[in-house]
């Protein structure tokens, strides 16, 4: 009986994924987040939007997960992530036909959103572990690696966007106000002090470096406001996103100069520049499964790739400029206008499908040999 119930549930959720993946996600601007979260915020409006939007975002990326190699999908970690997404989709769909005017319904919905948010806390390291499990069992393949890189960029961007919606709803309607940030609208600070976030990230990164590496760089912070000289730089932004980006840059021993990161640590070799934003590339040792002595996500190679996704989420970017033998500059670009800071969301469509199923032909540029050829071994015609 239980097996029959499970099969029915699997068939049902499969149909739901097929249905909702046909719709494109609806990106929101920072201004829309602010307007919605103002004093006139309405839990009923949020409920109506999320019960339609969350299934679309979940289904789009769940459809794309199935395009990964079968052996990767069979790893315990990836199967666990899939089960989380399926359970979350089912829980949201339970409210599809519920009455938005019923206070108990909206209260239960908020509880469900909190549970979903907590369930997805470990999505990033768990998916990372799945990729590690796959590579250890089956090795690396250039085409598979390219598809996995493409997928992870989209998967983690989707995860950032879903978490943004979940956080906004729970912070606005969960009944708890963060006393440390009373002026924030959900997770957004309309007057985010850039220098404060930078200092906070530095202190925590320094403690981490001192704990694990017994050494940390000093902070030299210069703040320049071109619009209002002498005043601190402020902007409409999500402080936790900026914190994550700056914290990760600190972990590679840099010094902060406004939103430009500069160091004189010898730079990055040209041959390694392209690898810096590649998942699984890391200078730290491979993490152990228990992770009891490892720094957060250390060894997975996810620090810079995830940081760039946070920057790109609201149409910004994170760029690295390195000169080998001298040092590295990292620049975080952030949109100044809240109307232009619009979510960047992946959508499952024919273009995405083709990316996974197109046979990549050989490069039409010759690949240089690692060593000079010994021409004496070749016969002349």
Q: What is the pLDDT of residues 57-86, one digit of tens each?
A: 999 999 999 999 999 999 999 999 999 999
CA dist 203 → 161, 218, 330 (Å): 27, 10, 19
CA 102, CA 105: separation in Å to the nearest integer?
5
% of the chain with per-residue pLDDT over 70: 77
Task: Give the pLDDT band of residue 11 (cuts 50, 70, 90).
Answer: confident
Check residue 381 and give its pLDDT: 53
Segment 147-173, tens digit of pLDDT: 999 999 999 999 999 999 999 999 999
Looking at every residue in the chain, the average pLDDT score rounds to 84
Check residue 37 and give its pLDDT: 84
Check residue 78 and give its pLDDT: 97
CA dist 343 → 92, 184, 316, 338 (Å): 22, 19, 10, 11
Task: Give the pLDDT band of residue 228 (cuts 50, 70, 90).
Answer: confident
Name the strand (E) or helix (H) holding 117: helix 103-119
Segment 235-252, tens digit of pLDDT: 999 999 999 999 988 876
Mean pLDDT of 219-241: 89
In DSSP notation, 231-252 reads SPPEEEE-HHHHHHHHHHHHTT
Specify the 3-state DSSP secondary structure of 211: helix
Task: Give the pLDDT band of residue 175 (cuts 50, 70, 90).
Answer: confident
Domains 1-179 and 189-333 share a fold: no
Cβ neighbours, 10 Å, residue 299: 18
Topology of the domain comprising 1-179: Butyryl-CoA Dehydrogenase, subunit A; domain 3 (1.20.140)
Check residue 173 and give its pLDDT: 92
Task: Give the pLDDT band of residue 263 (cuts 50, 70, 90).
Answer: very low
Segment 279-305, tens digit of pLDDT: 865 544 555 544 444 444 454 568 889
Specify the 3-state DSSP secondary structure of 179: coil
Task: Give the pLDDT band of residue 328 (cuts 50, 70, 90).
Answer: confident
* Surface-to-core class of residue 190, CB atoms within 10 Å of its CB (0-12 exposed, 13-18 middle, 19+ buried): middle
Beta bridge partners of 257: 260
Question: Is a pLDDT exceeding 50 seen at residue 317?
Answer: yes
Task: Give the pLDDT band of residue 373 (cuts 50, 70, 90).
Answer: low
Structural domain boundaries in the chain:
1-179, 189-333
Check residue 131 and give its pLDDT: 93
Task: Give the pLDDT band of residue 210 (cuts 50, 70, 90).
Answer: confident
CA 67, CA 148: separation in Å to the nearest integer?
10
Topology of the domain comprising 189-333: Heat Shock Protein 90 (3.30.565)
Check residue 306 and give its pLDDT: 94
Question: Is a pLDDT exceeding 80 seen at residue 47?
Answer: yes
CA dist 195 → 135, 219, 220, 223, 233 (Å): 41, 12, 11, 7, 7
Check residue 268 and give its pLDDT: 54
Question: Is a pLDDT exceeding 90 seen at residue 216?
Answer: no
Task: Give the pLDDT band of residue 179 (cuts 50, 70, 90).
Answer: low
CA 110, CA 169: separation in Å to the nearest integer?
7
Check residue 255 and give its pLDDT: 40
Question: Is a pLDDT exceeding 60 seen at residue 229?
Answer: yes
CA dist 324 → 135, 153, 274, 329, 345 (Å): 30, 27, 14, 11, 35
> Which candidate, 38, 45, 34, 36, places its Cα nearest to that of 339?
34
Mean pLDDT of 211-220: 77
Mean pLDDT of 330-334: 89
Cβ within 8 Å of residue 206, ≥6 positions away: 216, 217, 219, 250
Check residue 278 and give its pLDDT: 78
Identify the residue with better confidence: 188 or 368. Answer: 188
Question: Is a pLDDT exceeding 70 seen at residue 201?
Answer: yes
Check residue 177 and give its pLDDT: 66
CA 213, CA 367: separation in Å to the nearest integer?
39
């Amino acid at each position: 009986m239980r097996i029959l119930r499970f099969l029915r549930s699997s068939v049902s959720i499969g149909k739901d994924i097929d249905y909702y993946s046909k719709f494109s996600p609806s990106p929101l601007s920072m201004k829309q987040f602010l307007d919605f979260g103002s004093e006139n915020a309405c839990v009923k409006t949020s409920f109506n939007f999320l019960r339609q939007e969350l299934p679309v975002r979940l289904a789009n990326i769940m459809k794309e997960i199935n395009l990964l190699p079968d052996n990767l999908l069979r790893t315990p970690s990836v199967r666990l992530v899939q089960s989380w997404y399926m359970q979350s989709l089912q829980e949201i769909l339970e409210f599809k036909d519920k009455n938005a005017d019923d206070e108990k319904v909206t209260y239960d919905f908020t509880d469900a959103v909190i549970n979903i948010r907590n369930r997805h806390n470990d999505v990033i390291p768990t998916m990372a572990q799945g990729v590690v499990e796959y590579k250890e069992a089956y090795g690396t393949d250039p085409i598979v690696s390219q598809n996995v890189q493409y997928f992870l960029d989209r998967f983690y961007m989707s995860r950032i966007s879903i978490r943004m919606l979940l956080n906004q709803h729970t912070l606005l309607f969960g009944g708890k106000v963060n006393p440390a940030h009373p002026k924030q609208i959900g997770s957004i600070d309309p007057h985010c002090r850039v220098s404060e976030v930078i200092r906070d990230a530095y202190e925590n990164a320094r403690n981490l470096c001192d704990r694990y590496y017994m050494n940390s760089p000093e902070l030299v912070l210069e703040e320049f406001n071109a619009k209002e000289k002498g005043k601190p730089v402020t902007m409409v932004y999500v402080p936790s996103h900026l914190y994550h980006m700056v914290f990760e840059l600190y972990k590679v021993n840099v010094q902060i100069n406004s939103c430009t990161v500069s160091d004189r640590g010898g730079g990055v070799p040209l041959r390694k520049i392209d690898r810096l934003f590649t998942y699984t590339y890391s200078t730290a040792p491979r993490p152990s499964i228990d992770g009891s002595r490892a720094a957060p996500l250390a060894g997975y190679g996810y620090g810079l790739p995830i940081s760039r996704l946070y920057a790109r989420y609201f149409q910004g970017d994170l760029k690295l400029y390195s000169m080998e033998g001298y040092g590295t500059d990292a620049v975080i670009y952030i949109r100044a206008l809240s109307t232009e800071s619009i979510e960047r969301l992946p959508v499952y469509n024919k273009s995405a499908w083709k990316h996974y199923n197109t046979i990549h032909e050989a490069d039409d540029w010759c690949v240089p040999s690692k060593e000079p050829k010994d021409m004496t071994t070749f016969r002349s015609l």
